[in-house]
A and B are shown apart, each in its own frame.
Chain A
Amino acid sequence: MSSQDHHEESFISKYIFSQDHKWIGIQYGITSLVFLLFGFTLMMVMRWQLAYPDTVIPFVGWMFEDGMLSPDMYNSFGAMHGTIMIFLGVVPMVVGAFGNYLVPLQIGAPDMAFPKLNMASYWTYLAGGVIMVYSFFVPGGAANSGWTSYPPLADIATTGQTIWLFGMVFLITSSLLGSMNIIVTIVQLRAEGLTWGRLPFFVWAQFVTSFLLVLAFPPLEAAGVLQLMDRLAGTSFFLPSGLVVGGEILNVSGGGSPLLWQHLFWFLAHPEVYVLILPAMGVVAEIIANNTRKPLWGYKSIVFASVWLGFMSFIVWAHHMFITGMGQGMSLFFQTTTMIISIPSVIILSALFITLWGGKIRFNTPMLFALAFLPMFGIGGLTGLPLGLAPTDIHLHDTYYVIGHFHYVVAPGTIFAIFAGIYFWFPKITGKKLNEGLGKIHFFFSLIFINGVFMPMFIQGLAGVSRRLADGGVSYAHAAGVLEWNEFMSMSAWLLGVAQIPFIINFFMTIFKKVDGVADPNPWQSTTIEWTDTTSPPLGHGNFEIAPVVHRGPYEYSVEGASEDFIPQTKK
């Protein structure tokens, strides 16, 4: 490993084709922030159409014919919003950025186990992202069959779908490279004395997440290639015989099954939900333990529950398919497993919650985001219950209720955890704390407006308004009574956009701020190795001057009789 020697590196090998896990983590972080903003912008444009149908879209209207989104364009934006937010925004952020930057530092390793693989993972991801963005400019626009790409619609869609599949193959490959790297790093490169029982929960969460990625993504990669063959090579893996589209017989051999795609897709996409949420829980656990000045309550229970959650997440996928007619036995099995998977989630959440009990709670910006995560993720989880049952899902499936449910899990859930993590680890990465005042403005307005966006979706969904309607439901009389919420939701969405401006200002202001002297390596008085044994920012390639040796568990806060209210893991 070329890690310990501090030889001179050229600009390109240091900042562009870097093999240093810290710089790759930063590359991942910045790229995924840009994509998160892009995906959010798509949604802000769509929300204009839903709130004020039939009027020209301000600011960006000139890009579209008639100044409005055509139904095809609306479907494109919807599909790409989902794809970008999940595969180009949140997963690269929680696994690529947080995992890459923090896992080696928290386990006392000089770098990832395979630095070149790590670099390849980032560049494959970026290639996937560029391909996805490029797809907006091909004839017919970007993929418009939903982020789920159900065939036969996706098989007969415009060129954008082909580009989407190419992009997905790149993104999946990138995730596979990254997650294998994290598994090997955690297994092989833990510092001396850092036993499995002493790992910070964040590392455990990354470990379970990486297994989910390694095991769940290959089926989708295979399915993606099969759909690509259907589109390009004339196969019909997902096309049954006798298809007639628009009065024309489709010239395919047939014999395939559209349901097969749904099984393969959801076999990835349900574990994917836990890929989004487990690292977020890891981030929140670190921040809550640190800011309550208490050990994480029930560490072993949480670790056990997260492993259990990981296993269970592989046998719940078909609860997305209750109304497809896949069979009664299947429905019964999957609704039962779906009910069981709620137990480990409840255990993790209540352990985090009980950690507050008897603490000494500091209310800094990362802690506020972490605290808000608990009830917000709670709403997301609880509203999932009626969706997990075959009968209630009959009414709620594919309505706005579903959209509200999973956005509560991912937006005020995972994305709040991402913000918490950014505010928390920013001083480690740059040596400077983000401004607290701007941070709190960012937090409170985000919390208010994000609920304004998603709460009314439950009301619309219960009323039976379907998702993916280019006019938001204006065509349907049964939706008429709840459509007045659209304006409220859109206003909230745009104000949520405005509420991100303090964050952007804060981000750049802090980066360019000049500070004299050496930065405090441990501004939050934390116990874990990345704070106690490195400088801020950590040294170049290699991280540690002296290899750390671990003597105790990760959350030794407020130990009776100790001189300070925290004892670092590496203190004898």
Chain B
Amino acid sequence: MNFSEVYSRIKIKSKNQLKLGGGIWFLDPPKDVSLDGYRIDDVIHYTDGIILFYFGIVVLLMTYFVIKYRARPGHSAEYDKGDRKKNVIITICMGMMVFLTIDVVIEGMAFRDLKQAFWKFPKGENVVKVEVMPQQFAWNFRYAGLDGEFATADDLIPTQNQMHIPVNTPVVIQIAPYDVIHSFFIPNFRVKVDATPGMVNTLWFQATETGEFEIACAELCGNSHYRMKGVLTVDSHEDYQKWLSSQDEEGEPEEDDWGDEDEGVPTFWGWSWKEAI
């Protein structure tokens, strides 16, 4: 398949398939449909506002200086080395002012958000657990069977590029690839986590609306990285149960289509769930 064919297919697909928060051209992230995404937007908005404020001051002052202190006959410069104690204090104060109004505030917000949301992994019965195994160039999703344990015989057959989750329910994913580094990114949820061979990473999020959203790969993973796309479907609880049971009916997992036992290639992927700290 040559490149132009790929392009034309993608164009048609992307126009008709999904309806998202696209069409936004101003400084705003895409529509947020997650429980905690607003936290990231808030910090971005605060930072945007305050850096525009400081930048505005700098540009205005600079324009003023450049006009007022331009070289012209009869005008001479002041000899001021700015090395007196007073000047050093002013310099430090300016540094500290920026530090206190920007850095300390956003660091505080960041610390709060990490503690209250991003690193506070949900536990309990109602948590939906999914194992994700990205490969060049697709996403594989594994759901535990009735026993609730992963890497057992009653796991559901892994789905490819189709992830389903119920709305208003915490979802924890664990992610690990076997080939190269990928990065699991859902722009509408403000979540992203690297998938690095040799380690299992954990991420959690919660949807607030039903619909279809895109999963993008954010880390260069090879020549078709640009179209390594998955679809996340957020279902209502009933739809989710219906989907789960339809998956179940397909029976015991058989040989995966990308393996061959004779060559020692694993035909089964998955790992027993590692509780996040």
Contact = CB atoms under 8 A, between A and B. Distances in A.
The 7 A-B pairs of least Cβ separation, nearest first, read A240-B198, A464-B187, A297-B82, A481-B22, A358-B78, A325-B201, A339-B103
Given A332-B111, A394-B193, 13 more contacts: A247-B260, A297-B87, A353-B61, A391-B113, A397-B183, A464-B187, A469-B226, A474-B14, A475-B10, A475-B226, A481-B21, A481-B22, A557-B79
B62 A356 contact: yes
B83 A298 contact: yes
Interface in A407-464: 458-459, 462-464
Interface string B68-85: 011100011111111100
A305 to B, nearest CB: 8
5 contacts: A242-B178, A247-B260, A382-B54, A477-B20, A482-B22
Contacts of B227: 471, 475
Interface residues of A, number: 116
A477 B17 contact: yes
B252 interface: no
Interface string B229-270: 100000000000000000000000000001110011110000
Interface stretch (A288-296, A310-318, A538-546): A288-296
A34 to B, nearest CB: 28
B262 to A, nearest CB: 12
Given A344-B95, A361-B66, A375-B59, A476 B214 contact: yes
Contact of A298 (B78, B87, B104, B119): B87
Interface residues on B, range: 35 or more
B7 A474 contact: yes
B114 to A, nearest CB: 6
Contacts of A396: 44
B76 A474 contact: no
Interface in B88-129: 88, 91-92, 94-96, 98-99, 102-104, 106-107, 110-111, 113-114, 118-119
A506 to B, nearest CB: 23
Contacts of B192: 323, 394-395, 397-398
B79 A294 contact: yes
Contacts of B40: 391-392, 394-395
Contacts of B181: 150, 152-153, 258
Contact of B118 (A153, A156, A240, A391): A391
Contacts of A471: 7, 10, 226-227
Interface string A538-572: 00000000000000010101111000010000000
A72 B22 contact: no
Contacts of A358: 69, 77-78, 80
Interface of A: 53-54, 66, 68, 70-72, 75, 144-146, 150, 152-153, 156, 239-249, 256-259, 292-301, 323-325, 328, 331-332, 335-336, 339-340, 342-344, 346-347, 350-351, 353-363, 371, 374-375, 378-379, 382-383, 385-386, 389-392, 394-399, 458-459, 462-464, 466, 468-471, 473-482, 484-485, 553, 555, 557-560, 565
B203 to A, nearest CB: 9
Contacts of A241: 198
B153 interface: no
Contact of B55 (A153, A240, A382, A558): A382
Given A350-B91, A359-B69, A480-B22, A243 B79 contact: no
A499 B180 CA distance: 41
B148 interface: no
Contacts of B66: 356, 361, 371
A385 B15 contact: no
Given A249-B265, A360-B69, A476-B14, A298 B26 contact: no
A391 B110 contact: yes
A466 B24 CA distance: 16
A375 B22 CA distance: 31
